[in-house]
Amino acid sequence: MRVLFAGTPAVAVPSLDALVNAGFEVVAVLTRPDAPLGRKRVLTPSPVARRAAELGIDIIHAAKVDADTTARISAAAPDVAAIVAYGGLVPPAALAIPRHGWVNLHFSLLPSWRGAAPVQRAVMAGDDLTGAVTFRLEEGLDTGPVFGTLTEPVGAHDTAGDLLERLSHSGAVLLAQTLSAIDAGKAAPQPQVGDVTLAPKLTLDDGRLTWAHPALAISRRARGVTPEPGAWTMLDGQRIKLEPVRLRPDIAGLAPGAVSVQEKSVLVGTGSHAVELIRIQPAGKKMMAAADWARGLASVEGVVFE
């Protein structure tokens, strides 16, 4: 079966590898154009583009699936298209090209968390269980019938990055199995059932910690925005980046945002009990241990995160 693969970030690479290893003929890869990265803003291929080049697969670079891109997809003559975090909408003209349609690997248990940031939103919401599904892509936002499902528990210390790493590999297996079932004529997608929740793309503002919130909510938000866009707070008018915090229910009485050092632990008050900072990145500096940051201050007395 001839497969067009559409994907962009690193989490899509295991799926591309899984399809190649399963013996599918990947006739082309659709991915977003090279993007400027780093302080020098060097144009850099996407992780999927790099892997496709290593595999010798033709690459279609496109920020959106316009008429020209649709024509290039049609010229590749795929029997089916597999899409994993491509980062753009697929219009009806392109959806109609493969005879078996487009199969999307989505990292949530649909219809929960339809949208661009399902794993991040699940962690921020405190879900105990997440997973991945393969479904038939339609014009609607993640509305198509489901081919297959897998589940993945959310650990108490999992970041969104941790979960995405695990799901990228287990989901790759699910995607290959789904395409095998389609090729064998044994796939039977079922309509989505359950309550719909939405997972819009994260913005920088989603990473700001509100210290008046309960400690558990702060911890979930910090884990959900790690690694991107990252958790942060303000101090003396400057943005301070933080890695996920540790819950300290044994420490109470600190005002929200107030910083204290107790027994070498750097603590911050919240709307409930304290949290412990693990690593912190002051403005203009590298990420460092919170204890080292605190030692570099003249005093933590009166230090309050905004």
CA distance 76 to 93: 15
Are residues 16 and 144 both part of a single domain? yes
Residues 30 and 164 in one domain: yes
Q: Kindly tell me if the per-residue pLDDT of 38 is higher than 80.
A: no
Cα radius of gyration (the chain): 22
pTM comes to: 0.94
Which CATH number is 159's domain given? 3.40.50.170
**Cis peptide preceding 244, ω within 30 of 0:** no
Question: Do 84 and 164 have their domain in common?
Answer: yes
Residue 147 lies in a domain: yes
Which residues have a Cβ under 8 Å from the Cβ of 272 and sit 6 or more positions away?
214, 215, 216, 252
Let me know if residue 304 belongs to a domain.
Answer: no
- Which residues constitute the domain of residue 284? 204-295
Q: HSE, CB side, 13 Å, CA atoms: give it for residue 2.
A: 12
- State the residue for tokens 């009990």: 273
Contact 264, 225 (CB under 8 A): no
Instruction: Extract the tokens encoding 136.
Output: 């038939």
- Strand order of the β-sheet with 80-84 is 59-61, 25-31, 2-7, 80-84, 102-106, 129-136, 146-153
Give how many domains the chain has, as a whole number.
Answer: 2
Residue 275 covered by a domain: yes
Q: pLDDT tier at 21 (50, 70, 90 boundaries)?
A: very high
Q: pLDDT tens digits for 86-111?
A: 999 999 999 999 999 999 999 999 99
Does one domain contain both 172 and 236?
A: no
* CA pair distance 11, 7, nearest whole angstrom: 9
Output 181 or 298, whichever has higher pLDDT: 181
Do residues 176 and 211 both lie within one domain? Answer: no
163 and 273 co-located in one domain: no
Nearest to 183 by CA among 195, 191, 175: 175
290: pLDDT strictly greater than 90: yes
Tokens of 126: 């405190």
Note whether residue 22 is domain-resident: yes
Peptide bond into 91 cis (omega under 30): no
- Tell me if 301 is assigned to some domain: no
- In the beta sheet, which residues pair with residue 269? 256
Q: Over the range 47-84, which residues count as b (16 or more CB within 10 Å of their CB) and which as e?
A: bbbebbeeeebebbebeebeeebbebbeebebbbbbbb
Paired sense of beta strands 59-61 and 25-31, if any = parallel
Are 61 and 131 contained in the same domain? yes
Output the pLDDT for position 214: 98
User: Alpha-carbon torsion 52, 56, 57, 59, what sign?
Assistant: positive
Cis? peptide before 282, omega within 30° of 0 = no
Domain of residue 212, CATH code: 3.10.25.10
pLDDT in tens, 190-236: 999 999 999 999 999 999 999 999 999 999 999 999 999 999 999 99
Helices (H), the chain: 13-21, 47-55, 67-76, 92-95, 118-125, 160-183, 215-224, 290-295
Residue 190 lies in a domain: no
CB distance 244 to 219 below 8 Å: yes
Which amino acid is residue 35, in one-letter code? A
Same domain, 170 and 219: no
pLDDT band at 35 (very low <50, low <70, confident <90, very high): confident
In a domain, 134, yes or no: yes
**Residue 165 phi, psi dihedral angles, 5° rounding:** -60, -45
Domain co-membership, 132 together with 232:
no
Please state the φ and ψ torsions of residue 103, each to the nearest 5 degrees: -115, 120
Residue 115 domain-assigned (yes or no): yes
The residue from 154, 183, 212 where one domain ends is 183
Place of tokens 């309960």: 214
- Is the same domain home to 120 and 247? no
pLDDT digits (tens, 9 = 90+) for 49-80: 999 999 999 999 999 999 999 999 999 999 99
Looking at the structure, do residues 50 and 129 belong to the same domain, yes or no?
yes
- pLDDT given at position 126: 97
